[in-house]
Structure 1
Amino acid sequence: MTVKDLWEGKTKSEIADLRARNAPRWQRRWRDGTGRNATQRKQSHREAQRAQALIDDGSQMHTPRARAVVRGSVTASTLLDRHLSAKADRAPKTIEADTRHAGHVRTVFGDRNVSTLDTTQIEIWSVRPGVAAESRKKQVEILRAALKRGIRDRLVDTDPTEGIVVSLGHRELPSYSSDQLMAILRAASSDLERALLGVLGLMGLRSEEARSLLVGDLREGHLSVKNGGAGTDTTKTRASRRVLPIPMTVLPWLVDLAGDRPKSDWLFPSPRKAGCAIAMQFPNQALTRAITKANESRQEPIPRLTVHGLRHTFAAISLSEAGADLLSVSQAMGHARPSITLDRYGHLSKKGLAPLMGKIDAIVATMS
């Protein structure tokens, strides 16, 4: 990003004319994203204090640890730039999403001095109509993260987003019961498809994560998830890199599938293209084939969901049938924060405090 003085090189008479017309003097230029295809943007400003803030923005771009920022002129854009730069090692899709949400924040608050932001104003913005609740939530979260970083770096004194919560409401995500899932697995068209659908429905992997698995990721009854399938050798978030114990139902399927193949081979190889992993659409097609076959002998047909419904199925079975705790389910699914699991699946967790109190009674009883 650069900041240009539009009056530079003008004669005194020209400057006097510009001043009389209250013409903008400072112009900020930047790109949305990186690379040659990134859209170039520019914005002009009049106020001297805002110009100083923009100069600070330019000097601090890509230097999140620098301390030369003038505290009195820190803008929301300065903090967003520093936060995004510090998180540049995440998966490309995550960076793209964060940059997009940060762009919406910039549109409203980017040039504002942080000291002029107030909680009520941000809260009104967070409930604006016409924008999906999940998008509004993520935009508030990235603004909050940038402000928290500013507080840690001693550039900002307070967080005006404190206490603001964007409610997503209760959304029932479609999933299968354990009975329906096992019927689907039994009806799978091949051993490869059964193992694939088992990994998705009984372990909660994302479809892209399963497609990216190598034979070497299967070791001593555990599965290492190290690639999110986004065209890089990393996962969606740091929390998505995880080592999962394999359920005994699924383990024999994976062991047979791996056989004695080299560790560098794809765990789920393409049936059509030698040396390639299964195609992006393959998991959905495998699920469709299994449901079609399972429904041939069922009075109540199993509904057709997308393959991502198997991930929801894992969460639903874990919480509502197996009685798992939210933190364990969050770790298994590779969510960046347990709050994501709570927002999406918290209503499936067993209700009431009786089980908890029963466990406390059992602990106390052993000590008496």
Structure 2
Amino acid sequence: MAHIRGVPKEDPSRWEVRYDVRDEYGRRRQRTKTFRREGDAKKFRRKVEHEADLGTLRDPMLGRVTFGALVERWQQSQAWAGLKPSTAARYATVLRVHVLPRWEKVQLSRITRADADAWVVELSRGRRSPATVGKVYGVWRQALNHAVYLGWLPVNPAAGVPMPRVREREQLYLSPEEVWTLAGAVPPRYRAMILTAAFAGLRFGELAGLRRRNVNLLAGRLTVAESLSQVDRRAAEWTTPKNGKARTVDLPAFLREELTRHWERYTEGGTGPDGVVFTGARGALLDRHNFTRRDFRPAVRRALSAEKHRLRFHDLRHTCAAILIELGTHPKLIADTLGHSSIQITMDRYGHLLERPRAEMLARLDARMLEVERRCGAEAAAPAN
């Protein structure tokens, strides 16, 4: 409830409105605001009472909270705790390197839409790519979203600001023959891993986190239930797959044979149910950086033509999608195999690859209709008995 009272001792023409709010810790605080005219004081009181009824009344002192204090509260919140360890580590690095040096001591109430727009321009200067600008700005925007959630800001000043256009990286696809050549160029212990990535569509973290209990070679299927997430160069965490859901992938006979040979030969990761299928030479968990630098990139340069030398491990997953599309696989089955949360993601990412199957479908339809036309024409021309 807000109250108005005159302040005759200080200034007979001043009117004071007192009202209760919650501070950043949820504690009840009394705030005051003074006016020269009684009518203005009454108008402000009505506004305060209306906002209190709607639940939108904010403590004006919250605007003095600095961005640095907001980040501390964000990192102690459930929203932060719900991030995957690798995501939280990446956000923390972005905050430390890019965001806090610019915004740590700035009061939230002083951050404007114009500031946000200007910072995009500032970030875009120098050698930062549009993708990097988007990632840095995105972390800053999420922190300010938390300020809105806490009631420290009425709206997010960083929302809706246009970002520099990210140029889509051209995806690379290997032919099945190129996949086999690459699988033969890596150290033998990684041969089955290359083939599983390219023909079953598993991500690197899903392969590195694949346990024996989740592979059923007799039934010819594996379950992607865990992923090994690289938090930093020193630590890794077991997490759920990317969209948070397990999925089952059917294995063709040739891949079952490859995995069987790998299973029997490489046992450093353990032979029990918790044993890890793909490990380093001494049974250590796979480190993506080391594997890429020491084994994958040298093999790519040895096995593939020069235009494919920029191939990433993740491009093997794209290769899986391309091969399935070429075989005429239904997009829903492709989405299930790759673990996409919706078929729309599959279509958005790989829809352009459907042009060839569509042309082949039209050619088959034309051939079928010509056959029908010839048969129907022959029947029409046949003499009646």
Q: 1:115 aligns with which of 105, 109, 115?
A: 109
Does the 8 Å contact 1:235/1:241 carry over to 2?
no
Q: Distance in 1 between matches of 2:273 and 2:60?
A: 50
In structure 2, distance between residues paired with 1:330 and 1:161: 36
Kindly indicate whether residue 88 of structure 2 is the aligned counterpart of residue 95 of structure 1.
yes
Tell me the residue number matched to 1:223: 223
- Does the 8 A contact of 1:90 with 1:236 survive in 2? no
Q: Which residue of 2 aligns with 1:150?
A: 147
C-alpha spacing 1:266/1:154, structure 2 compared with 1 (3 Å): same
C-alpha spacing 1:209/1:69, structure 2 compared with 1 (3 Å) = farther
Cα distance change of structure 1 residues 236 and 105 upon mapping to structure 2, 3 Å threshold: farther
Matched, 1:71 2:71: no
Contact 1:77 1:110 (8 Å CA) reproduced? yes
Question: By how many angstroms is 1:207 displaced?
Answer: 3.5
Q: 1:350 aligns with which of 341, 345, 352?
A: 352
Q: Describe the superposition over 1:131-157 as per-residue Cα deviations: whole angstroms up to 9, x where unpaired.
A: 332222112211221222222222221
Choose from 307, 312, 317 the match for 2:315.
312
Aligned-partner Cα distance in 2 for 1:320–1:117: 50
Distance 1:110 1:334, change over 3 A: farther
- Superposition RMSD on alpha carbons, in Å? 4.6
**Separation in 2, partners of 1:183, 1:198:** 7
Task: Please point out which of 205, 213, 221 is paired with 2:210.
Answer: 213
Give deviations 1:291-326, integer Å, cap 9, x for gaps. Answer: 74x66xxxxx365536x6131242365269728869
Does structure 2 conserve the Cα–Cα contact (< 8 Å) formed by 1:240 and 1:334? no
Show CA shifts across 1:186-230 (max 9, x none). Answer: 645787433110233334444454234322232461232332254
Question: Contact 2:223 / 2:247 at 8 angstroms: preserved in 1?
Answer: yes
**Separation in 1 of the partners of 2:287 and 2:142?**
36
For 2:343 and 2:143, the matched residues in 1 are separated by 20
Give the equivalent residue in structure 1 for 2:99.
105
User: Matched residue of 2:223: which SS?
Assistant: strand
CA distance in 2, matches of 1:144, 1:71: 18
- AA in 2 matched with 1:254: L
1:176 aligned onto 2:173: yes
TM-score computed with the length of structure 2 as normaliser: 0.56
Unaligned runs of 5+ in 1: 1-54, 60-66, 296-300, 356-368
8 A Cα contact 2:203 2:317, kept in partner: no
Q: Deviations over 1:224-260 (max 9, x none)?
A: 2332254343249864674352442634433443359
CA distance in 2, matches of 1:68, 1:250: 63
- Distance in 1, Cα, partners of 2:336 & 2:72: 29
Tell me the equivalent position of 2:196: 199
Q: Is the 8 A contact 2:247 2:337 kept in 1?
A: no
Match of 2:275 in 1: 265
Alpha-carbon distance change, 313 to 146 in structure 1, aligned in 2, over 3 angstroms: same
1:81 aligned to 2:84? no
Greater Cα radius of gyration, structure 1 or 2: 2
Structure-1-length-normalised TM-score: 0.58
> Cα gap change, 1:277/1:78 in structure 2, threshold over 3 Å: closer, same or farther?
closer
Cα distance in 1 for residues equivalent to 2:185 and 2:144: 50
